[in-house]
Every structure is written in C-alpha cells, then in structure tokens.
Amino acid sequence: MTQHTLWHEHKISRAQRAALKRQRPCLLWFTGLSGSGKSTIANALDLALHQRGYHTFLLDGDNLRQGLNKDLGFSAPDRVENIRRIGEVSKLFTDAGLIVLCAFISPFTKDRRMVRQLFPEGEFIEVYMDAPLSVCEQRDPKGLYKKARAGAIAEFTGIDSPYEVPERPQIRLDTSKLTVDECVAALIAYLEQHELLAT
C-alpha cells in the first residue's frame, strides 16, 4: 500500500555518490541456464573491478533466497516477485553509486524487461551467458539437472520449463568457448567503451 507514503528526496544525489567513486553506476545482469557460468564470471568480474579500485556489489540468486527472498518458492508468481525484488534492490545500490552485478537465471523476457525499465538508458547491461544446454548439463555444478531428469525437481529451466533467449543482449558470452579471463576482459572492455569506468 503506497497511497499513504511520499517519496523523500535525499540531499546527496546519485550523481554525487558516483562521482566520489570515480565511476558511473550501472547494473550488469547475468542471465542464462543453470551451469552457464553466471556466478563464476560475475565473481571474477567483481574481483577484477575491486582490484582496480572500483566499488561494486554482487547479488547472487542462491544467496538472496537464503535471506531477502527466503519466503518465496518457485511458483510462477514467486519467480516474478523474486526478480522484482532483486531489481528494486539493484536500483538502490546503483543509487548509492555502485556497479552492481546480478547473477540470476531469469528465464523470461518480460521479467528482465521489468528490471530494465527501472534504470536510465544505458545503465542496465544484459549479459547473456550463451552456453548450450548440453554443456550446462554436463557441468551440472549443483546436481540440479540430474535431479530434474529424475523428476525430483519440477519446472526446471531448460528441462521442463523454457528459457527465453535474450534477443538483443548488450553482451553475449559463449562460456563453452571462452575462458573466464576472456569473459572478464570482454566485460571490462564494454564498461570502458561506454565510459562507465574512469580511464
């Protein structure tokens, strides 16, 4: 219920917070199948940016379901709410001037679009981890594909629930061919090219 609340303006703007950090706030949204390398690459980029002196924060799907979203299940409405909350939290972090990295399967175009619409033009960077299902299933780092194939997990993305491939992601990384270092280099090059990092 928001009809009894008013937006409170802050004395310090998001631009001022970002300028203090020598960077432009943005959200890198890593999307792809389970096992496509979202968390691995997001973590590696987080470390690389930190080592260069940038201010970042990484939000990971499994971690948020341990706290902020632990009341949500995996029904269709709960999955939408999961992404909505993550988008709103990401927006708060960018308002603080941070570079935010989010690693979530987020299989549906409409949910990713919902988050994109929270951000100014150019600040939502969709990173599609374009690894084939066969490769992701072979990796199966959490054993989820095996459980899904055995019927222990219903509505598992890529098996019995669809993944809607991004039509025009800002960055596409085929982690079946690229190394972690190559992925990180491509991401940093994008951020520099679009003047999101101080040079």
Which residues participate in catalysis according to the annotation?
106
Residue 123 burial (CB count, 10 A): 20
Residues in the chain: 199
Give the whole-angstrom CA distance, residue 112 versus residue 84. Answer: 9
Query: Which of 86, 97, 98, 96 shows the shortest CA–CA distance to 29?
Result: 86
Give the whole-angstrom CA distance, residue 176 versus residue 89. Answer: 31
Give the three-state DSSP class for 70. Answer: coil
